Structure 1
Amino acid sequence: MESKEWYYRLGDQTFMVSTEPQLVSHDFIQTSFSDPVMSSENLRIMLDNSCLLSLYLKSRDHLPPSKLTAESPAAPLQPPCSFTQIGMARLVTDYMTLAFLTDVFVVPEHQGKGLGKWMIQCVKEVTDAMPGLRRVMFMAKNAPQTVKFYEELLDAKMHDQERGKVVFMSRRDPEVDS
């Protein structure tokens, strides 16, 4: 799959979702899966077999004025940008018929800004571009707001569950399931 990027501006902050594997912070993912810590080899295997949509906060690197002017006097003076990973959504997929959505989260200090919703909209765009996709499956916390969130954004349906803390949901392709 070709890498994709999306940008979202909120006040003076710019956020990016990217599927580019080279941008992924292995330290961020290790911290996110801190219990138990995954070996570097296992992390590489996991990432190689996934479509990872990483959420980043864009920031400018502030260099001292002497460094800015010494680089290239003819070039416009713009500090380089850097991206800090603050969230992710992972699709385990064959890129053709099935996708399993997992590991969806945004770090607590950036929650409540609509970033999770935006990231899921990016996930939907990725899965909508898979021509033979028959089903997107995932498990979610069995809470009314969580179920409603995925029903609205992914047109997902909750499957029969009785009093479980986690529910199994999927988005169906009406042509396949009719």
Structure 2
Amino acid sequence: MSEKSFFVTTDKSKFNLEIIHTFLKNSYWAKDISFDIVKSSIQNSYCFGAFLNDNQIGFARVITDYNSLAYLLDVFIINEFQNKGFGRQLLDSVFNDQKLSKIKKWMLATNDAHALYKQYGFYILDNSSNKYMIRERS
């Protein structure tokens, strides 16, 4: 993996909405979501795009007040690029972003990526069917 060819940006003008929509509409958490809803969700959230050689390979979206609470969702790396460290680099960019530095509590819902998120301090909420996770900072 060449470090120069991989980057993460919050510049929405660089995002490939078709790639994001295609991945999300086939995901378990946003099955059959419409293009218009994806577009509106991106416009109204703080988002991160992961790129390799200028091609979008991943995405993450944050809903937040920028002070106390953030909800992380729609996190993905396209299947062919998974298990190569790109997901970790994407999450590093999210959690190290200066605009999100004041956030004390992060929340997310996942059915399958618990081990990855635990590396970032998330833990499973009691009675959440192993789906909802939270991360708190003092």
TM-score interval for Structure 1 and Structure 2 normalised by the shorter chain: 0.7 to 0.9
Quick one: which of 109, 133, 137 aligns to 1:139? 109
Change (3 A) 1:29 1:11: closer
Counterpart residue number, 1:20: 11
For residues 94-146 of structure 1, what are the alpha-carbon distances to aligned partners after superposition, in whole Å with 9 as ceiling and x for unaligned?
A: 222211011111111111101111111111112x653542211001225xxx3
Counterpart residue number, 1:113: 84
TM-score by length of 1: 0.66
Structure 1 consecutive aligned stretches of length 4 or more whose deviation exceeds 4 Å:
none
**d(CA) in 2 for partners of 1:131 and 1:15?**
23
Counterpart residue number, 1:73: none
**d(CA) in 2 for partners of 1:36 and 1:161?**
28
**d(CA) in 1 for partners of 2:72 and 2:121?**
14
Aligned partner letter, 1:95: Y
Contact 1:136–1:172 under 8 Å retained in 2: yes
Segments of structure 2 that go 5 or more residues without pairing to the other structure are: 26-30
Change (3 A) 1:12 1:169: closer
* Pair member with larger Rg: 1
Quick one: which of 97, 102, 110 aligns to 2:68? 97
Counterpart residue number, 1:29: 20
Q: Larger relative CO (CA 8 A, sep 6+): 1 or 2? A: 2
**d(CA) in 2 for partners of 1:167 and 1:20?**
30
Superposed displacement of residue 43, structure 1: 3.2
Report how many residues are paired.
133
TM-score by length of 2: 0.83
Segments of structure 1 that go 5 or more residues without pairing to the other structure are: 1-9, 59-82
**d(CA) in 2 for partners of 1:53 and 1:169?**
20
Contact 1:92–1:99 under 8 Å retained in 2: yes
Contact 2:51–2:58 under 8 Å retained in 1: yes
**d(CA) in 1 for partners of 2:49 and 2:65?**
19
Counterpart residue number, 2:34: 38
Aligned partner letter, 2:122: A
**d(CA) in 2 for partners of 1:149 and 1:91?**
17
Contact 2:23–2:78 under 8 Å retained in 1: no
